[in-house]
């Protein structure tokens, strides 16, 4: 996905650039693709199972979205985002958590409906987590289309009785393997999408975690530890940090907690749209 983001950012930028500017962007993209590559392949570790069986009375957690939701970059199945969330949730509520992952590497918002369609008709998750957006940037999907697909997915999951938590698109400015000005172009697009995701999800009664705010600073300050070897996807430690940052919204969605920290938004909480499309800073 990292290399594709580079290609998408270039395609979005070169149209209005001078010849010299286009050549610069293409050289930067080639250099970033060479660094990133695909060392993890196309499949994330399979982490689906019941976590903390000794607690019993399992909750059902389903993960939807792209490679981040699937856990690409984690060294072991138990270190993916879904597994980390399942274990953290079980510890807090003293109930087992049954994890099901339909998120897929390379997917974008358009595939959310197909991911839900793969679930059994009688499947009723207690909480659903959606993390998607990076590939929408790579494929230059119209913002309105991405949001419409997200809204439809939220409604379908709510119809199944699930509390929904949306992790917004991460800020692509974190990708230090991508040089300027290409990184700034990707950052602008990702912030705009994240803001629109936040607003749409809140209006539908979903809980929202602004990943750029709650997890982004750790990736910026400790990139060698937080990123995996492709310098794009989180490492096992990166997923651990991200899961810890997201957990308060899962607890709030399940009614196990009322208070949420900065960067978390509960249904009914309204934020005015920022002119720049950027999420608010901490």
The residues carrying an active-site annotation are: 67, 230, 233
CA 22, CA 38: separation in Å to the nearest integer? 25
Q: Of the candidates 12, 69, 15, 9, which has an alpha carbon nearest to the alpha carbon of residue 36?
A: 9
In the chain, what's the furthest Cα-to-Cα distance? 63
- Residue by residue, what is the 3-state secondary structure of 34-82? HHHCCCCCCCCCCCCCEECHHHCCCEEEEEEECHHHHCCCCCCHHHCHH
CA 29, CA 31: separation in Å to the nearest integer? 5
With a CB cutoff of 8 Å and minimum separation 6, the contacts of 227 are 73, 219, 233, 234, 235, 238
With a CB cutoff of 8 Å and minimum separation 6, the contacts of 211 are 131, 167, 168, 169, 170, 171, 194, 242, 245, 246
């Amino acid at each position: 996905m990292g290399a594709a983001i580079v290609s998408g950012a270039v395609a979005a930028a070169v149209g209005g650039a001078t010849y010299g500017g286009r050549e610069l962007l293409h050289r930067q993209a080639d250099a970033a693709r060479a660094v990133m590559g695909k060392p993890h392949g196309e499949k994330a570790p399979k982490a689906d199972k019941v976590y903390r069986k000794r607690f019993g009375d399992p909750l059902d957690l389903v993960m939807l979205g792209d490679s981040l939701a699937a856990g690409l970059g984690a060294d072991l199945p138990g270190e993916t985002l879904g597994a980390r969330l399942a274990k953290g949730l079980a510890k807090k509520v003293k109930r087992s958590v049954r994890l099901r992952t339909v998120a897929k590497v390379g997917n974008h918002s358009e595939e959310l409906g197909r991911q839900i369609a793969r679930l059994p008709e009688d499947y009723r998750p207690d909480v659903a987590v959606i993390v998607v957006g990076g590939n929408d940037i790579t494929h230059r999907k119209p913002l309105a289309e991405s949001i419409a697909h997200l809204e439809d997915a939220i409604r379908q999951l709510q119809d199944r009785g699930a509390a929904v938590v949306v992790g917004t698109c991460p800020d692509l400015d974190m990708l230090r393997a991508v040089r300027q000005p290409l990184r700034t172009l990707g950052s602008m697009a990702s912030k705009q999408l994240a803001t629109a995701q936040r607003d749409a999800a809140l209006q539908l009664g979903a809980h929202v975690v602004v990943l750029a705010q709650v997890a982004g600073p750790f990736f910026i300050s400790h990139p060698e530890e937080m990123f995996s070897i492709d310098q794009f996807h989180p490492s096992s430690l990166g997923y651990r940090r991200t899961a810890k940052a997201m957990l308060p919204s899962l607890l709030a969605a399940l009614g196990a907690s009322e208070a949420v920290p900065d960067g978390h938004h509960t249904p009914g909480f309204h934020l005015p749209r920022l002119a720049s499309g950027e999420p608010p800073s901490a």
